[in-house]
Structure 1
Amino acid sequence: MFRLLYITILLILPLQSIASISYTVRIAVYNNVDSLQEKLSKLSPELRKTVEIQQRGEQHVACSAHTDNKETLEKLLPFYQKVFPDAFISAYQTTEANTTQMNTVKKAEENKRMPQTTEIHPVEATEVEDTPSNIKQQIVYTPYSRKIVNPTKNDIPLYDRFHQKTLYLCAYGAEPWLPNVLIHVAFFDKEVIYTPISGDISPRREVYTTDQNKLHISQQGLFDSEIYSTIDSITSDYYLISSWVGKNKVTTIRYYFDLEKAEAYVASLK
């Protein structure tokens, strides 16, 4: 109960300043909105009030309300990740000319979604047993980790290197004037979901399979035996993965295991 009370307090924190960067928690991408809503129902009532569902083509994207207070989202992120282990914080650039209007819209939306301050007046600080620092240090991946551990260990089957794991694809933009690309890549039992963190890339959902040392990922749901990927090398921080068409190598890209290291690498690309 005390954790829910703490969440409620966080959700009503006002925006402290006008900024050109806004943040949101990217929660999940589903093709079936009913399945998404059923999964969202497992969140606490306080968190559900902060979730927006946006339709992009045939996909439905669930994310939290935008805010310029990243620290608030960092404290709430572990609660989202209890139901959606791959949830992450994403930043968006906004123009100064539209900032005032956007803040006005966000405040109006928050008034509809967020609990009012009058509802939590009876809450006393002594009821909040977990401090912000304790909550921030909670284990990110529960009930079991999707993070890759001991990647350099020998004799790990290719399927096990990807199954139920999360990686971060890092690459140059498609053109020199386009921003570099960072994509959250979540592998499940049979599906893989690409959710862009930065870069001019659209989210997508595909099917994957492995064949000896080859990783096959569908293109719009269809497989082509001539299109596949291989792991060229393995470090403690990333897989170096090449994409092939037949016998021709097309690209070689780093897939990091840790988001912060992926962000640092993408920032270093010139």
Structure 2
Amino acid sequence: MLIDAHCHLDFPDFDADREAVLARAKRAGVNHMVVPATTRRRWPDVLALGKRSEVSVCLGMHPCFMQAHEPGDETVLERILSETGIVAVGECGIDARYTETWEAQWRVFDIQLRLAKRYRLPVVIHCVRAQDVVAKRLKQLDLPAGGLIHAFSGSVEQARRFIDLGFVLGLGGAVTYERAQRLRRAVTALPESTFVLETDSPDMPLSGFQGQRNEPAQLARVCDVVAELRSDTAANIATDSTATAQRLFGLSA
């Protein structure tokens, strides 16, 4: 069994064939998926997906869509957190490529971190070119339920810093590229039970699939590559990453 710890099945990219995508995932051994929301406008669609037994959901405000966030979103988010069984806060975080929204990103990120702490939920973090400053903030807040550093692409040292803070690392399509040597070195050095597997569907296509829509069925290929990098079997990686995702998100075995 595999768990795709991060995929955007609510995106319009899947509107034409979502059921077929889910069927292919199941045939590939991906029996559960965690879907994080990116904006308040998408929360209803994500919550609707969460009614399916094979889907768990997170709600948050993504740093790449700052223009979509409005005053009052955090109030609605807190109300939903107090009423529904979502498994994490997110996707939220910091993306240093968007310098013009840097301060706004931090304001919205901090709101979500504090909500995660208040409701003792893990947080799903998008962190691009900001690993060190994000790790510093997480250390200051000392979140009780930790969380996921989605699409981790940092160094061994940065990986250890997040792990020491109680976070697990998301490994996806990036590990399949031979040029990603720094990430691959980190993957080989990670302790067991400190990472989960993810696709970030429809984004983060694997090597050899550039330009194509990604989907959860591709998680089996990610698992194979991680196993090869760690000189382990795909079965062991699947078992360990699944158990880690279940622990992080409070999913039933």
Question: Shorter-chain TM-score: what band?
Answer: under 0.3
TM-score scaled to structure 1, two decimals?
A: 0.25
Normalized per residue, the structure richer in helix is: 2
Mark the structure with the bigger radius of gyration. 1
Normalized per residue, the structure richer in strand is: 1
TM-score scaled to structure 2, two decimals?
A: 0.26
Higher relative contact order by CA 8 Å / sep ≥ 6: 1 or 2?
2
